[in-house]
Amino acid sequence: MKTKKLLSIIVLVLILAIAYGTYTIAISDFTLSDGNNSYLGGITWNRSLDNGFQMAKEQNKPIVVYFWAVWCQYCAGFQANTLGNPEVKKILEEDYVLVAMDLDRDRDVARKYGVSYPPYVLFLDGNDNVLERVAGAVDAKTFLPIVTEVRDKFRRK
């Protein structure tokens, strides 16, 4: 009886410790999005497309809208390797207004632009014109020239 009780208590304590530890770690290290922003690929993204348009007009920058989902297997890799690529990341952060749309929440926006699966990147100008679309998890080698070209074209205008 004693052994059994002792074992049960040890397991209970263990479970509670794991529960508490993982909960705290998840909040401190792995918050993907809060009320205003999403944090994907080491980049901070705006969660509101309307704010994005406003900022784009104010700063005269094009917008990158990134469609993602928690359950998307390819998004994780795309964020780590493509969006997180230092060169890509630098251009995105300096020359674009960044908006992330969560396919579990922002379904209407996705529908409006005909986005049916993640990952999907949409380039817009401040007047809601689609400049470019990148569907699927492309690698940094493919993504970098697109990011550069869309920016340059936008500036020439």
Partner 1 sequence: MADTGDYLLYFSIAVSAVALAGLLLKELRNNDILSKFISPLIFLTTGILAFLYLLLTYYFIAGNFIYEYVWQYSSRDLPLIYKISGVWAGQPGTYLLWVLVVFLSSAWLAFTTRHETALARRTQIITLLTGIFFIILTIIQTPFKTIYEGRPDLIGFIPPDGNGLNALLVNFWMIVHPPLMFIGYAAMTIPFAAAIVYLITKEDGWEELGRQWARFTWLFLGLGIAVGGVWAYLVLGWGGFWAWDPVETASFIPWLTLTGFLHAAALHRKNKATFSIAAPVLAAISFILVVYAAIVVRSGLFNSVHAFGETSTGTLLIILVVVTFIVTLLLGMRRYFEEPGKEEEEWGLWSKRNIFYISLLLFVILSFISLWGISFPAFIQLTQGLKVNVASDTKNFFNLWSYPFTIILLLALGFCLNYKESEKEEQKKILYAVTAITVIAMFARTENFYVLDHNSPFFTREPQIYKLLGSISLLSIFPPLIYAAYATIQRLMGYLRLGSTRPKVKGIGLAMVHFGVVLILFGAVISSSFTHSNDRINVPLSAKGELLDVGGGYGIKLIDYSTRSLTETTGSGAGSPGTRISSIKSDPASYVNNNVVVSGKVTGVAYTQSNTTPVTYTAYFELNDGTGSIWAATQSAEPITIPEGIDLTASGFIMADFTSPSTKTTYDLIVFSQPDGISETSTVSGSDKYRVQSAKLEVYQNNQKIASGTAEYLEGKDGGSGTFPMVSSGITGTDVYVIFQGVGGGFVPLTLKIIPAINFTWLGILLFAIGIILIMAMKTKSRGD
CB nearer to partner 1: give 39 or 148.
39
- For the record, the structure tokens of 31 come out as 């918050």
CB nearer to partner 1: give 24 or 59.
24
- For the record, the structure tokens of 136 come out as 């699927």
CB nearer to partner 1: give 76 or 144.
76
Compute how many other C-beta atoms are within 10 angstroms of the C-beta atom of residue 63: 22
Cβ of residue 154: shortest distance to partner 1, in angstroms? 26
Q: What sign does the dihedral 40-42-48-53 (CA atoms) show?
A: negative
Residues in contact with partner 1 by the rule CB under 8 A: 1-4, 7-8, 11, 14-15, 18-19, 21-23, 25-27, 29-35, 38, 69-74, 76-77, 80-81, 84, 102, 104, 116, 139
Which contiguous run of DSSP H or E holds residue 62?
none
